Amino acid sequence: MTAEKPGARRGRGERVGLTRQRVLDAALDLVDRRGLKALTMRSLGEQLGVEAMTLYHYVPNKEALLDGLVEQVFRAAAPAVDGSADWREALRAYAKALREGLLRHPAVLPLAASRPAVTQATLDDIEACLGMLTENGFTLGRALHALNAVSVFAIGHAVLEAQLVVGAEESGGTGWLAGLDGERYPLIARAARDRVGVDDGERFAFAVDAMLLGFEELRTD
């Protein structure tokens, strides 16, 4: 007989204290380090030290695992909603946290952009947020529009930011804009030279504030 090596995979049924949350945490860690293509039930099982089949006790299939990755990012950004919550601050904080969470986990971006974040946990958060908005004068339809607008904008902005980082690295950045013909493009050249309006975080916050001002005026049909 030989002793089992440390970290050797446990057999099915020996679940070493696994929970759905622990499985999702491990999956997110794996895609952060190795990319989305590396995520398989087998690779995830190896990371957790269990057989791949054991994971099906916690996620029924690969699609549910991918949904769980999106859930992780959205749940971390979900606004704290209680009776005293200011809807503007709640949506502003949600938008900021969602963008930052997606940028921390860029491998999840394609999933967030292509599949709805619909799990029981995210539906609970959506229900609570809609309750907050309708209690503050939004019609249900406008509440849904507002929440969707903020979510889609945060996802799209994060996708664009991630692509711009890669593009800038490949092209050498955008410093060349400062060298544009100052007579033909005086404002663009000056903005590039003075680094005006180029901060992604400021640009994002400005747009979110503009949306919130619009929501204030358009809460009712």
Say whether pLDDT at 200 is over 70.
Answer: yes
Q: Read off the tokens for 44.
A: 């995830």
- What does the DSSP 8-state code read for residue 105? S
Q: Read off the tokens for 111.
A: 């999933």
Per residue in 72-118, pLDDT (tens digit) is 999 999 877 766 679 999 999 999 999 999 999 999 999 999 988 78
Cα(31)–Cα(107) distance, integer angstroms: 6
**Burial annotation 141-171 (CB, 10 A radius, 16+ → b, else e):** ebbbebbebbbebbbebbbebbeeeeeeeee
Cα(82)–Cα(67) distance, integer angstroms: 27
**pTM: predicted TM-score of the whole model, two decimal places:** 0.85
Strand partners, 50: 10
More confident residue, 116 or 63: 63
Q: How far is the CA of 219 from the CAs of 12, 133, 141, 147, 213, in angstroms?
A: 53, 9, 9, 12, 10
All residues at 6 or more sequence positions from 71 whose CB lies less than 8 Å from its CB, including other chains: 24, 117, 119, 121, 122
**CB contact at 8 A, 203 and 122:** no
Say whether pLDDT at 1 is over 80.
Answer: no
Ranking 4-18, 36-50, 136-150, 168-182 by mean pLDDT, the lowest is 4-18
Cα(115)–Cα(130) distance, integer angstroms: 20
Cα(15)–Cα(211) distance, integer angstroms: 47
**CB contact at 8 A, 110 and 156:** no
Please report which confidence band the pLDDT of residue 173 belongs to, taking 50, 70 and 90 as the band edges.
low
Per residue in 18-49, pLDDT (tens digit) is 999 999 999 999 999 999 999 999 999 999 99
Three-state DSSP state, 112: helix
- How many residues appear in the chain? 221
Per residue in 111-159, pLDDT (tens digit) is 999 988 789 999 999 999 999 999 999 999 999 999 999 999 999 999 9
- What does the DSSP 8-state code read for residue 49? T
Give me the CATH code for the 71-218 domain, please. 1.10.357.10
pLDDT for residue 83 = 60
Ranking 66-75, 175-184, 192-201 by mean pLDDT, the lowest is 175-184
Which CATH entry fits the domain spanning 13-60: 2.60.40.10, 1.10.10.60, 2.30.42.10, 1.10.3720.10? 1.10.10.60
- Please give the distance of CA 131 from its chain centroid, rounded to a whole number: 22
Q: 29 φ, ψ to 5°? A: -60, -40
What are the residue boundaries of the structural domains of the chain, listed by start?
13-60, 71-218
pLDDT for residue 34 = 96
Q: Read off the tokens for 31.
A: 């895609």
